[in-house]
Each structure stands twice: as structure tokens, then as C-alpha cells.
Amino acid sequence: MLIEVLKKLQERDKSVEVVYWEGTKSHFENLAKNKPDLFRDAIFHLTEDAVIGLPAYGVDVSQFPPVGKVLVNALLECESQVLTMMNTVDLDNNIPLSKKKNIYYSYIKYWHGILVSLKPDAILFGDIPHLSVHYVIYCIAKMLGIRTITFKAIKIGGRVIFLDDLKDYKNLRLELEKAKGRNFKVEDLSSDVQEHYKKQTNPHIDNQAFYTKKQYLKQRATPYHLPKRRVLTKHIRSRTFLSATSDYVKMFFHKRTIPHLEKMRYSGAYLWYKEYGWSKIKKRHKEEYEKSQSNPDFSKKYIYVALHNQPECSTSAMGDIFVDQILMIDILSASIPHDWRLYIKESPLQWSGPRTHTGRYRGYYEEISKRKNVQFVPVGTSTFELIEKSQAVASVTGSANWEAIVRGKPALAFGHVWYMYCDGVFRVSDGDSCKVATEKIRNGYKPDKQQVLNFLAAVDRASVRGFPNRKFKEGYNLDMTYEENIKNITEGFYQELQKK
């Protein structure tokens, strides 16, 4: 899809020139090998090479200056994030910290050299940069004053927002300023935004996100598996058994490279074996959680804390230092009134999603349980009942916060997220800001319904109808075609490039 976006972007504006392109998967690899005239002069770089610090083919790094103290110190905040992001490309957690730091320094040397020598006007990302090497590119670009443009899918299905800074959704913020003093009605919103609002405000609808539903979780938990008996029967009856068997054989024995800090080529069979081992780790984490859980007492006053599955973009990079969610819980625990509790619920994706075995460690939940006013609740507990009976909801950047706001409950957001400008959201960074927020909530503070509607009107104007990938199109059952989506994403990038 993004390949088509770049083609359309150059058709839209002949002055657009792609000078460097880093990407992954078969479509990009074919593009890099066959180089159409449109991208004849571009440097192509495979993600799996970039992750381990290998330069793009044909790039001479001998003239790039070595990394020194001034540059390293200027990027200290970046370093902290990147070392955490490397969990996603160290699946067995066996690469020593010293080697990770060496790879990080190789990133700095290479990408600083590339950006200084090529002097691009802008860098386009297909998502918020949360792979280690992508985040380094982003940070160095910011340091050098090079524009960074990306887009992010938001809770409203079929909507994306473009931004040039991970800590500031500027387009949305500016639209909200324009909405000051106005009183928008539901009827003023676009039909899809209206539908979203009506679903979220209807107490009888459990508007569960598609990626938390059981069928989706089951598919994510078993990316490599042998076919079930019913599948075999289906292929025999439809006379596709031989072709299906051929596909399975290819999947299990064809080797492919995946992003990893040490270059590796995995066959499907080997990945199936590895997934089996990783699933055992997830099972141990789940058992530890379930030993600590107990049913919530809804007669007590509490803040509902929704944990994020990790590693994921929602906490790294969007969460900043609160990629460590224990830090968030520690602040909340020390700040709430003495007669309140924290009801904490784990994300169901944590025990089924890919790579999530690296997002927890033995003793993680025990460490959280040391705080006297915290309680884990079963994952099956209704999110919407927890929201409805809470004093407030807290998460780093989670959708539970947005669901709370629309339902009239205040929310505490610890990261940088699109809804952070909405009335009813307290942006928390430390104990002091958390105490101020909880004191206001204790005194009866609630989001203003009119201000929430005004915010939605700003979202309506600041966002673009679109989706980032097939998963979102199918999950939200969007009626947009891929052609429409490509056109809208292209126009979004184009409009951002025109800004100074």
C-alpha cells in the first residue's frame, strides 16, 4: 500500500524525489531488486539489515565521522527508549546490553552520516517510529531540524491523523483551538464519527475493539500451526488437498529473514518450534498474574488501570518513560486518597500476541502487588463495568481512557496520545501532577459533555479517512476500498509536505 502511496505522491507533485527508502517484506524486496524508473536513483535498504547495523548496498560509510560524546549526550533520551525497543528484535533475550549499546552507536554513526550527506527535506514514516532503528532516525532528524511526517490510526475506526512530532498532535490541537467558544451538536459530525460517538455513549453496547476479541486473539496466538482436522476435511472435499499441502510445506521449510539484532534466517518449522517455547513463557506469566488476581469489589472507590500489551508502539515510543508501566502504577499508588484502590487489568493480548513474551518477566506482577492499595482483577472482567463504576481510568495511552471520557469519566494519561487535548483528560508526568488530578476527581470533577463533542468535531476536521493496513480494514469492517485509502493517505502526506 505504501509503495502505491509513494507512486501517487510523485504523480501528485513531480518535484517529490525519493532519495532513500528503507523497508521490509516481499513487495519492498521486489521493488529494491527491480527498481522502476520512478525510483531509479533511490538508495534501497532492507529493514533486517538496518536493524543489525548493516549499511545499504553501495553506501560508503568510511567518510562518516565516528560517534563522540557530544552526539551521544545529545541523544540520551533516545538511547533510553531504543534499548527498550530492542526487546522486539531480541526474541530470546540473550543479547548482552554491551552489544546492544554497540549496535545503537552504529545506528547513530550511520544515520547521522546519511542524513547529513543527503540533506532530505522530510522523512516519511508509515507508522509512529517504534522499531529501534526507526526511532534513531526520528531522533537524529529532530536534532538536525529535518521534518518527520507520519500518521497514526485512532480509536475511531477508519480514521488516521497525520503528525510531525510524537509529543504533539499539532493538526488536532489547532483545530481544537478553532472550536473554542462553539457548541457543536452530534448532527454536525461526519456520519462515521457520529456512529462512533453513539456507540461509545450507549451503555448497552460493549464496543469491544476487534483486536481484543477471542477469535482475533486466537489467530494471533498461533501464527504457525498444523492444520486442524476440519481444515483437512474441507480441502479433501474441495479437491484442494494437494495444493494446500504444497503451501504448508513451503511455509514450513521456506527460509526467510526477520528483523533481529543478529541476522537470522528462519524456516516456518523452526519458527513454529520457537513459538511453542515462547508460548510456555507467556503461560508462566499468565499463571503468575492469575495467582494474584481477585474479583473487584465495586462498592469501593477505585481507579481502573488498564495495562498495555508490550512490546508495542502504544508504550514505546508513545509512552516515553512510562514504557515502564510499573512507574505509572507507583505514581498512582502514592497519589490516590488513602481509601481508594487501583484495580489493574492486564491486556488479553499480553498472553497471545507475537513477541509479548519479552514484554513481561518473572516476578513482574509480584513487584506490582507489593503496593498495599493495588489489586489485579481477572482479564475477563468487563472493561465497561470497570469504567462505569470507577472514579477515573488510567493508562499510558490506552483506548480505555477514551472510552471513559466519552462515557463521562475522567482519565489520567501518562503518554502522548491523540485524545490528550480532550476535556476530562489529565496529563500526568509525576507524583505532583497526579495528586492534583486525583484531588480534582475526588471533589467531583467530570468531563464536560459539550467540550467532548467540540473535541470530536476537531478530530473530525483534523483526521483523514483511512487505515494503515489490511488488519484494520477487516477488523473494523470498513467499506473503503484500497484505492480510496491510498488516495487519502497520499493526499495527507502531500498536505503535510506543503507546510513550512
The amino acid at residue 406 is V
> Residue ranges of the chain with pLDDT lower than 50?
none
Determine the Cα–Cα distance for residues 115 and 121; give it in Å rounded to an integer. Answer: 10
pLDDT, one tens digit per residue, over 181-233 is 899 999 999 999 999 999 998 876 766 666 666 665 565 555 555 667 777 78
The amino acid at residue 108 is I
pLDDT at residue 159, rounded to an integer: 95
Predicted TM-score (pTM) of the model is 0.92
Determine the Cα–Cα distance for residues 355 and 274; give it in Å rounded to an integer. Answer: 11
pLDDT at residue 262, rounded to an integer: 85
pLDDT at residue 222, rounded to an integer: 54
Contacts 24+ apart (CB under 8 A), 251-254: 251/224, 252/224
| Residues 344 and 376 sit within 8 Å (Cβ to Cβ) | yes
pLDDT at residue 500, rounded to an integer: 75
The amino acid at residue 272 is W
pLDDT, one tens digit per residue, over 439-465 is 999 999 999 999 999 999 999 999 999
| CA distance readout (Å), 453 to 208, 399, 416, 449 | 21, 17, 21, 6
Domains along the chain with CATH numbers: 2-153+466-498 (no CATH), 175-207+293-459 (3.40.50.2000), 218-273 (no CATH)
In 10 A of CB 482, how many CB atoms? 12
